[in-house]
Amino acid sequence: MKNLALFLISLTVSALVAEVGLRFAGFNARELAADRFFTDGEETTWSVPDSQLGWVNKAGVSISIEHGGAPMTFWDQGRRATRENLESPGDGAAVMFVGGSNAQSYGVTDQESFPYLLGQRNPALWIENFGNGGYSSAQALLMAKRAAGEFYDAIVPQLIVLTFADSHVVRNVSDQSWVYSISDSQGRYVSPPHFRLEGNQLVFWPFRTIGPWPLETSSVLITTLHNVWMQSVLFDSADESVPVTKRVLARFAKFAETIGSDLLVVILEDRTNVSGQVFEGASFPVLDCSGYERSDPKGYLLGGNGHPNAKLHAHFADCIGTWMSSYFESRNSQGGL
């Protein structure tokens, strides 16, 4: 008992010394700060929680926090508005867009977004935009599967357009760099649904939240220990990001084939030039519409460093529209429509 008491006293003193030392070095205890995008009841809140996907677009109008404060209209089932009303434009071929915030068209008005522009230029097509801010390729796959099963009834999307940004690579494995950047309405860290490699197998990890450890919000030491655990063990997954992403995209292509859809992957952002590794040997068409986010960010990004502005969305519409025109002309000539 005496030895146990001495051990506990030594442990307590050591912890107190470490706590004081960390505070003196400028470290802080964890603060539970809700993500501005997920704060309940704010006009800038564009999402609602979803137990499987993590979150989906909230039906209604949300105001962008980026330059210009654009109003953004969202419909049910996580869709961004692609036309003036909810009615489908007719019996034309269905095109489903999925992806992250660039597909969602965060920061620009409905009429400025590239899916809306494509719908205006191709009134015979039935375009729906299931892009959701913050999504990875893995979440986009889950959304596409949900939409195929719950939204599309008698018709199968002729074409699924998956947008890609280089940031999706670490999101697909829920690396700590991504986990630390998002939190729910209670300030807890969020790990969206993602994939990891276990041996040579791709393993799915469901959505989860990471609350603070006991006393973490008041102790720098416990905060540091939790951070070390997350960074070095639980979410140290960046090294797997490219091989996992390649396999996720292969699964996406297989899913599209299974339901009878064609898949196009469009690169909208690639600031780190990782797309060459990701799409090497891809079995599906890849269209690169990126470039201006690297060469002229002040001219093509909101505020010079945010999401694509209206000018860049117009470029996306031109780039994708040219490919789609060729695609549908080929399908028509083959009697595929």
DSSP 74-131: E-GGGPBP-SSSSS---SSPEEEEE-SHHHHTTTS-GGGSHHHHHHHH-TTSEEEE--
Q: How confident is the model at residue 337 (pLDDT cuts 50, 70, 90)?
A: very low
CA 69 – CA 63 distance, rounded (Å): 6
The pLDDT, as a whole number, for residue 255 is: 98
Whether residue 169 contacts residue 159, with contact meaning beta carbons closer than 8 Å, is answered with: no
CA 248 – CA 254 distance, rounded (Å): 10
CA 223 to chain centre: 27
CA 114 – CA 129 distance, rounded (Å): 10
The residues facing 148 across adjacent strands are none
Q: Residue with structure tokens 């003193």?
A: 13
The region of weakest confidence among 11-15, 69-73, 203-207, 223-227 is: 11-15
**Residues 290-303, mean pLDDT to the nearest whole number:** 97
| Residue 74, both tokens | 């969202």
The pLDDT, as a whole number, for residue 105 is: 98
The region of weakest confidence among 88-102, 197-211, 261-275 is: 88-102
Q: How many helices (DSSP H) and strands (DSSP E) are in the chain?
A: 12, 13
The pLDDT, as a whole number, for residue 25 is: 83
SS3 label, residue 263: strand
The region of weakest confidence among 40-44, 115-119, 216-220 is: 40-44
The pLDDT, as a whole number, for residue 23 is: 80
- One-letter amino acid for residue 18 of the chain: A
**Residues 14-24, mean pLDDT to the nearest whole number:** 73
The pLDDT, as a whole number, for residue 24 is: 81
- Predicted structure pTM score: 0.93
Q: Which residue has the higher pLDDT, 24 or 151?
A: 151
The pLDDT, as a whole number, for residue 113 is: 98
Question: Does the structure show a pLDDT above 60 at 336?
Answer: no
Mean pLDDT score of the chain: 92
The pLDDT, as a whole number, for residue 36 is: 76
- Which domains, from first to last, does the chain contain? 47-173+241-333 (3.40.50.1110)
Question: Does the structure show a pLDDT above 50 at 315?
Answer: yes
The residues facing 165 across adjacent strands are 269
